[in-house]
Structure 1
C-alpha cells in the first residue's frame, strides 16, 4: 500500500494499493500496444489530445491544486499556478513539436540525405513529489508529442495526484494506454526499468537515487535523462540592483517551502554590499506567513514529510554549530504537522553542512565573497551544477555566465523552468535536458536516411 500522511496535520490522509508485478507488466504491455498506433498518428492529431488535456487541467484547476495541498503541503496559491504551468507545457509542445521534430537535410554523396526524428517506444518517467503536475507534464508532453507512450511512476507520497493526471487523459478521450499510471513501491522500480518494453528512462530526484537509476538504465543499454539535486548559487555583486535581487532570491528560496531543486541555496554576496543585502533579505523573510497551505494568506506550508523536516533541522543545527549566525528561525516549532520556520543563516562557508549538502526547505544561507572572482570560485566549489543566478550589470553577467559550472544561468532574474527553454544539470546534478527543443530530442531515434543513387 502507498500510505500518505497529510504534512499539515501529521495524520494519515489515505492509502492507495501498489501494483503487483502482474499488474505492472499488464500496464507496460498496454503502453507498448498503444505505441504501435500512437506513433502512426500525425503531430497534429497528437496535439489535439494534448490540447484537450490542457483545457481540462485549466477547467479543473481548483480540484487538482487541492490534491497537491493535501498530499505534499503546497500552498494553494502555488498549487493553482502549478496546474496552469503544466497546462502551458502541454500546449507549448502541441504548438511547437512539428518545428522541433522537423527533418534536417544534410549534404552528402546521396541524391538526398537527411535526418528524421522518430519515437522510441514506451518511456518510463520516475517522478518526485515536490511538483507533481508540472514535473509529470515536463516529462510526458514532449515524449508524447514525439510519438512515444509514457509510463508514469510517480512518488509514493502523491498517489492521488498521479491518478488525477492519468484520469485527465481518460477524460480527454486520448487513445487508451498512451499514458499509464504505475503506482509502484520503490522496491519495484528496478523491474520496471529492466522491463524489455521500456525503451528509455527519465528520472527526477536526488543524486544518490539518480546514480542507481543511471546504473540500471546503463546495464540495459537504455538512454536516460537525469535531473538531480542542486546547491544552486545566487551571486550578488556590489553593482547589483540590491532590491530587485533580494525580491527574486527570497522568492526562489521559499517557493514550495524551499523544496525545489533549482532554488537559490547559497547566496554569495560581495563584501561591500554584504551587510545591506542581509538586511534586505531579513526584512523580506520575516514578513512571510508560515501556516495552513489551504489558506490563500499562507506563503509557506509544511515540509512534505517528517523525515525530511528532521533532515533539514540536522543540517541547520550542524551549520550553526560550525559557526554560522542564525538571524531568523532555526528552531523546530511545536504543534501538529511538519512545519519548519523561515531561517536565515549568515557567516556561512562552503565547508559547512548547509553548503556541502542540498537543503530542501525555507533556509537561506549567505556567504561573503571578497570579489567577483572569489564569488565565482565559491559558486563553483560544489559537486552540483544545476542552476545559478548572478546579479550585476548585463555585460559582466553574461561574461561571468560562461565561467559558472551549471546547466542554467540567469542574469538579473529569477531562476525558473520554462517550456520554451532547455533545463538540466552537469556534475552530480545529472545529464540530459528537459524542455525546449532539446528536451523533445532526448527520446527520439535520430535516424539518418541516405537515398541513392550516389552522386559523383
Structure 2
C-alpha cells in the first residue's frame, strides 16, 4: 500500500497536494501525546476553555475567505456556502462557550443518609472520524463540545480534505488550545482500527455512511467503547393538500441542491399528495432546471462539482438503476462533457420500492418524486425507510403539521414549512440506520463524559 495520498480539485481534476501517511508508530505517539495533554486540560476551568473557544470563533471569522477557498479547492463547495459554513462554526464555538458552564455544572440531589453530587467529568481522548462534505463544520461539531467538556480530541478526516484537517489543528492552536489537545491523524483505515482499540482512546464518534458506522461501531463495541454515530439518510419532505406550493417548491429545491446535494440532512424524497402533485411537479422541475451549475469560485454558480469522481459515478449508477426499475427521468440524469466531476440537477418521477431512488440515499443533486393519495399514505411512505435523520412537512395547518412531526415522523429532526441545516442550539442526530447520539444544543457535551454520582453520608 502506498504511504502517500494526493488531494484533487474536483472542478479542474488537478492534483492539489501530496501527503505522507503516518505510520502506526507515529499515530501511537500522537495518541500518547494527546492523552498527556488531557491530564492538564481536564484541570482547566470552564472560563478558560470558553475563552479559547471564543478566540477560535474570532479566528474563523477572520479567516473565512481563506477557509472557504480551501473548501472550494478540495471538495468543490461554492465560496458563498463555504463562508456560511464558517459562520455556523463560529456560532457553535460561541454557543458552546456560553452554555458549557451551565450544561456541565455539578448538580446536587437527595441521597439516603445525606446528600449527593452528580458531576460530569471528562474521560480522556475522543477519536472522531469525519467526512468531507462540510470539511470545517464536521470537525467543529464534535470537537468543540468535547474540548469544552475537558476531553482532548483526535481527528481522522476524509482523505480528500486533508488540507482542512491540518488547517483546523493550526486554527485551534492559534486560538490558544494546548498543542496536543487536538491532533489530526493522516492515517489509513488499518491504522484507524488500531486507534479505535487503543487503551488511551475513551470514545469514538463518526459521521459517514451506515456501512462505515456499522463497521466502526462494531470495532469499538468489541473493546467496550461508547460511540456516537451520525450516518446517512433519505429524508422525506411531505407536500400536503393544503401546502403553499410556491413556498414548498422554493424550500424543497434549496433542500435538495444545497452543497450540490451532498448533505446527510437534505431533502431527498418528495412525497406529494395527488391533488397538488401536478402543480408541485411542474414548478419544481422548472426551478431545478434553472440551477446554475459550474465553476464553484464564480459568484453566479449555485452548484459546483461533486467532491470525487467515484461519488459521481455511484450517483449516476443509482439514477440508471432507478430508471431501469421503472422511474422516469424528467430532468438531468446525464454526466456532462468536460473536466470536473459535475452532475446536473436531476428529477425522477414514478419512484417506487426496489429502486435506489426510493430505498437508498442519493448523495447528490437528484430528487425523487412520489405521488400519494392522502396525508396518511404520505406519512407511511415517509417512515418506510431504514433511515431516520430529518424530514419536512408543508401544510398551512401548522397545528396539524406539528402533531404529525411530533407524534408520527420517525426521525431525529423535522422541518415545518421550510428547510434548515444544523443550528447550534438544537439537537442534531437521527434514529434507525441514521445512527444514534446527539450533537449540538448542549447534548454533545454529555455524550463522552463520566456522569459520576458522589454520595455524601452525614451524621
TM-score bracket for this pair, using the shorter chain length: over 0.9
Deviation at 1:175, TM superposition (A): 1.4
Q: Within the alignment, does 1:395 sit opposite 2:399 as a pair?
A: yes
Distance in 1, matches of 2:248 and 2:106, equals 42
Q: Is the 8 A contact 2:96 2:442 kept in 1?
A: no
Deviation at 1:350, TM superposition (A): 3.0
The 5 A counterparts of 1:27-426 are 27-392=30-395, 393-401=397-405, 402-426=407-431
Q: Kindly report the root-mean-square deviation, in angstroms, between the aligned alpha carbons of the 2 structures.
A: 1.1
Distance in 2, matches of 1:171 and 1:113, equals 40
Distance in 2, matches of 1:211 and 1:357, equals 16
Q: Is the 8 A contact 1:350 1:378 kept in 2?
A: no
The farther-off stretch of 220-229 and 392-401 is 392-401
In structure 1, stretches of 5+ residues that fail to align are none
Deviation at 1:321, TM superposition (A): 1.9
Using the size of structure 1 for normalisation, the TM-score is: 0.98
1:439 to 435, 444, 449: 444
Distance in 2, matches of 1:400 and 1:339, equals 37
Distance in 1, matches of 2:186 and 2:359, equals 33
Is the partner of 1:417 in helix, strand or coil?
A: coil
Q: Within the alignment, does 1:25 sit opposite 2:28 as a pair?
A: yes
Is the partner of 1:106 in helix, strand or coil?
A: strand
The farther-off stretch of 83-92 and 318-327 is 318-327
Distance in 2, matches of 1:280 and 1:106, equals 58
Distance in 2, matches of 1:409 and 1:350, equals 23
Using the size of structure 2 for normalisation, the TM-score is: 0.97
Deviation at 1:219, TM superposition (A): 0.7
Is the partner of 2:391 in helix, strand or coil?
A: strand
Distance in 1, matches of 2:281 and 2:11, equals 30
Distance in 1, matches of 2:72 and 2:307, equals 10
The farther-off stretch of 110-119 and 220-229 is 110-119
Equivalenced residues, count: 454
Q: Is the 8 A contact 1:233 1:267 kept in 2?
A: yes
Q: Deviations over 1:289-317 (max 9, x none)?
A: 10011111110011111111010001111
Q: Is the 8 A contact 1:388 1:415 kept in 2?
A: no
Distance in 1, matches of 2:131 and 2:387, equals 18
Q: Is the 8 A contact 2:22 2:186 kept in 1?
A: yes
In structure 2, stretches of 5+ residues that fail to align are none
Distance in 2, matches of 1:406 and 1:234, equals 12
Q: Is the 8 A contact 1:258 1:363 kept in 2?
A: yes
Deviation at 1:187, TM superposition (A): 2.5
Equivalence for 1:452: 457
